Structure 1
Amino acid sequence: MSNTITFEDFAKIDLRVGTIIEVNDFPKARKPAYQLTIDFGDLGIKKSSAQITTLYKKDELLNRQIVATVNFPKKQIANFMSECLVMGAVTGNDVILLKPEQVVKNGTQVA
């Protein structure tokens, strides 16, 4: 377990639901990854790099809702600017994406 944080620390993290609208291979990434384009509704469209190629095929990801942190600073990964961090459960070397149990409006806040 990591260090204990306060509720105020947790409240700073902006977790939102979005729908993946585009998936591309990312050959310049050091580890196998996809480039994702995600629709967060009123928050707009954001891009993310995700190392999820072992469990997910591109066509399985398209139109899938996910949970992401949308208030991290942008991060340059090779020639790609990642604007959000897709959330997942890490099991060994694999990441299993988190998603809402039911379809919700893009941009819905996760509490």
Structure 2
Amino acid sequence: MDNIITFEDFTKVDLRVGTIIEVHDFPEARNPAYQLTIDFGDLGIKKSSAQITTLYKKDDLMQRQVVAVVNFPKKQIAKFMSECLILGAVDGKDVILLNPQQRVKNGSTVA
């Protein structure tokens, strides 16, 4: 494996659980995507773009908890500013969202 990182490198990644509170279509995106608004509790509300339209309908995403990296710099995607990166397992072209098995407090850390 060529991409070995140290434990110190890993501790710099801030992984948190949040709840999706808004989902909108994102027709300006290069690939089919949604614009998500996610509540991370004490960390506040953050927005993200996610290419998850093949497996998830907008109504299915509402109030769903997800895992995200919350300490990346903001990234401009078309006219939208993404503030976090939602994590998922990639299976071919599909992305399966990572989420806790039980409901947890928004903003909970992932270790």
| TM interval, short-chain normalised | over 0.9
Unaligned runs of 5+ in 1: none
Alpha-carbon distance between aligned partners in 2 of 1:74 and 1:83, rounded to the nearest angstrom: 5
RMSD across aligned positions (CA): 0.7
Offset of residue 81 of structure 1: 0.0
Give the unaligned 5+ runs of structure 2.
none
What is the TM-score normalised by the length of structure 2? Answer: 0.99
Aligned partner of 1:53 in structure 2 is: 53
Matches of 1:88 and 1:73 in 2, distance apart? Answer: 19
Task: Say which SS state the counterpart of residue 9 (structure 1) adopts.
Answer: helix
Q: Which runs of 4+ in 1 moved over 2 A?
A: none
2:27 corresponds to 1:42? no
The alignment's TM-score, normalised by the length of structure 1, stands at 0.99
Structure 1 residues 53 and 2: CA distance shift in structure 2, 3 A: farther
Cα distance in 2 for partners of 1:110, 1:19 equals 14
The alignment of Structure 1 onto Structure 2 pairs a total of residues equal to 111
> Aligned-pair distance for 1:11?
0.4
Partner of 1:100: 100
CA-CA distance at 1:2 after TM superposition:
5.3
SS of the residue 1:63 aligns to = coil
- 1:14-93 paired onto structure 2 within 5 Å: 14-93=14-93
